Amino acid sequence: MEKKEIHPLRQGIHGEIEIPGDKSISHRSVMFSALGDGPVHIKNFLHAQDCLSTVKCVEALGAKVEFLSDEELVVTGHGIHGLKEPQSIIDAGNSGTTLRLMMGILAPQPFLTTFSGDASLHRRPMARVIKPLGMMGANIVGRDGNRLLPITVIPAGKKLKGMVYDMPVASAQVKSAVLLAGMYAEGDTTVVEPFTSRDHTERMLEAFGVRTEKEGTAVTIHPVEEFHSPKEIEVPGDISSAAYWLVAASILPGSDVLLRNVGVNPTRTGILDVLESMGADFELLNRRVSGGEAAADIRVRSAKLRGTSFGAEIMPRLIDEIPILAVAAAFAEGTTVITGAGELRVKETDRLQAVTDEFNKLSPGLVEASEDGMVIHGGQSLRKAEVASYDDHRMAMSLSIFGAAGEGVSIDHPDCVDISYPEFYNILENFGGKGA
């Protein structure tokens, strides 16, 4: 089996890194453009497997997609009622965002769509979307009591009904699916979250002329008649990708890097708050707005980190950054306590279990898992080990940074980084973090 060897990077990291396009925003740019009434020129698109799953999906539904380069494409839809019946099963690959948001868009359509995906996506819970859409009148069936892939979205036979939905967990994917179905429904649709999750759907809908109303953690959408394509969408860089370098530079002594073009939408910046509470040394420069989203460059220098505590309230703002924050905690002085992170158990893999088992191979006794979190006893002795990525991109990248800052690591299924950050190893290797 192919393995990736990462050697210790004793000299730290220096220089500039251009952060690739945001994954969540790239998905939405393609999906919404496919419902638009004219061509949309998308710039700084994340050319990675997950977003390409969305591209294949909208092509199968009749939208025209033309790549001008890897990161630039033009997507032309046929209007909000212009999607066409796909001729075969749509493969959503590893992408929960493709599948869950598209279920919301497809539930009101007058044709049938069947989805499959990879082994990981087949294990992930889909009732969280199928149930609320069903409450609106949608007819979606899936394996194992409408919980799992394969899933078929069947024409509802009548207009969906708007509703007020109290979401049991904060989830931008569930919120987005219900709001997107709500565009086609009779009456208003409101979703109420326990805590606010990323709001890229609400922001980007505005660029297509669709207003949502926000009150506290509730978002309301009205039925939509017109969906006007903007000429252009510029995707800001992904803070979830910047996260690996934020932590690497913080924990590798002597580091000083400039991360260029990082999306800093406040629903995504939980990692900055946590790193600040740990004593990290970074500053936001050149703050600007890019495609309706806040962006900045971030300069990070190494610092002595200390342990911290955080829980459910901040979780939606850093949900994908727990594995790399666990690396920061491993190299910090003192204990870090993470609670309210039960959602990590249903990501691309069970990330609480994966972080616990793999990190303990690199530093025995480092992590103790609980039902919904972890206790990390930082500053313990480190060693080199062979570890498993579970074919999960965020596990592979977090383990790489752990190895680079520690005693090295050998990682299985390393290519899974192609899901969100195909250039990751090249950048690390340019810093000298590759072995023979």
Query: Where in the sequence numbering do the catalytic residues fall?
Result: 320
197 near ligand S3P, judged by CB under 6 A: yes
Give min distance, CB of 120 to ligand S3P, in A.
12
Nearer to ligand S3P, 118 or 320 (CB): 320
Nearer to ligand S3P, 180 or 300 (CB): 180
What count of Cα atoms within 13 Å lies in the side-chain half-sphere of residue 177? 29
> What is the spatial distance between Cα 31 and Cα 232, in angstroms, rounded to a whole number?
14
> What is the spatial distance between Cα 316 and Cα 373, in angstroms, rounded to a whole number?
14
> What is the spatial distance between Cα 71 and Cα 365, in angstroms, rounded to a whole number?
43
What is the length of the chain? 436
Give min distance, CB of 338 to ligand S3P, in A.
16
Give min distance, CB of 200 to ligand S3P, in A.
7
Residue 129's nearest CA partner among 157, 98, 159, 158 is 98
* All residues at 6 or more sequence positions from 164 whose CB lies less than 8 Å from its CB, including other chains: 189, 190, 192
Nearer to ligand S3P, 320 or 418 (CB): 320
Out of 94, 171, 229, 261, name the contact with ligand S3P by CB under 6 A.
171
Q: List the x/- string, 87-126, binding to ligand S3P by CB under 6 A.
A: ----------x-----------------------------
Site for ligand S3P in 319-378 (CB under 6 A): 319-320, 343
Give min distance, CB of 25 to ligand S3P, in A.
8
- Closest residue to ligand S3P, judged by C-beta, is 24
Name the segment binding ligand S3P (CB under 6 A); options: 149-157, 165-173, 178-186, 334-342: 165-173
Question: How many residues line the site for ligand S3P (CB under 6 A)?
Answer: 11
DSSP helix/strand/coil, 173: helix
Token pair in block for residue 415 = 């290519």
Token pair in block for residue 49 = 């497997």
Nearer to ligand S3P, 202 or 343 (CB): 343
Give min distance, CB of 193 to ligand S3P, in A.
10
Name the segment binding ligand S3P (CB under 6 A); options: 169-177, 210-218, 369-377, 425-433: 169-177
- Cβ 58 vs Cβ 84: under 8 Å: no
Nearer to ligand S3P, 60 or 204 (CB): 204
Q: How many angstroms separate the Cα of 51 from the Cα of each of 60, 149, 286, 288?
A: 14, 19, 28, 25
* All residues at 6 or more sequence positions from 401 whose CB lies less than 8 Å from its CB, including other chains: 244, 247, 248, 251, 324, 327
Residue 428's nearest CA partner among 44, 414, 1 is 414
398 near ligand S3P, judged by CB under 6 A: no
Nearer to ligand S3P, 74 or 169 (CB): 169
> What is the spatial distance between Cα 319 and Cα 16, in angstroms, rounded to a whole number?
26
Name the segment binding ligand S3P (CB under 6 A); options: 84-92, 170-178, 251-259, 265-273: 170-178
Nearer to ligand S3P, 272 or 404 (CB): 272
Give min distance, CB of 124 to ligand S3P, in A.
9
Out of 9, 80, 92, 172, name the contact with ligand S3P by CB under 6 A.
172
Site for ligand S3P in 287-326 (CB under 6 A): 319-320
Distance from first CA to last CA of the chain, Å, rounded? 17
Name the segment binding ligand S3P (CB under 6 A); options: 168-176, 177-185, 252-260, 286-294: 168-176
- Cβ 236 vs Cβ 44: under 8 Å: yes
Residue with tokens 């803070």: 239
241 near ligand S3P, judged by CB under 6 A: no
Nearer to ligand S3P, 97 or 336 (CB): 97
* Sign of the Cα pseudo-torsion (205, 210, 214, 219, in order): negative
* Sign of the Cα pseudo-torsion (376, 394, 410, 2, in order): positive
29 near ligand S3P, judged by CB under 6 A: no
Identity of the residue numbered 322 = I
Name the segment binding ligand S3P (CB under 6 A); options: 37-45, 73-81, 172-180, 300-308: 172-180
269 near ligand S3P, judged by CB under 6 A: no
Q: What is the dihedral of CA 353, 357, 359, 362, to 10 degrees?
A: -170
* Sign of the Cα pseudo-torsion (252, 298, 48, 352, in order): positive
Binding residues vs ligand S3P (CB under 6 A): 24, 97, 171-173, 176, 197-198, 319-320, 343
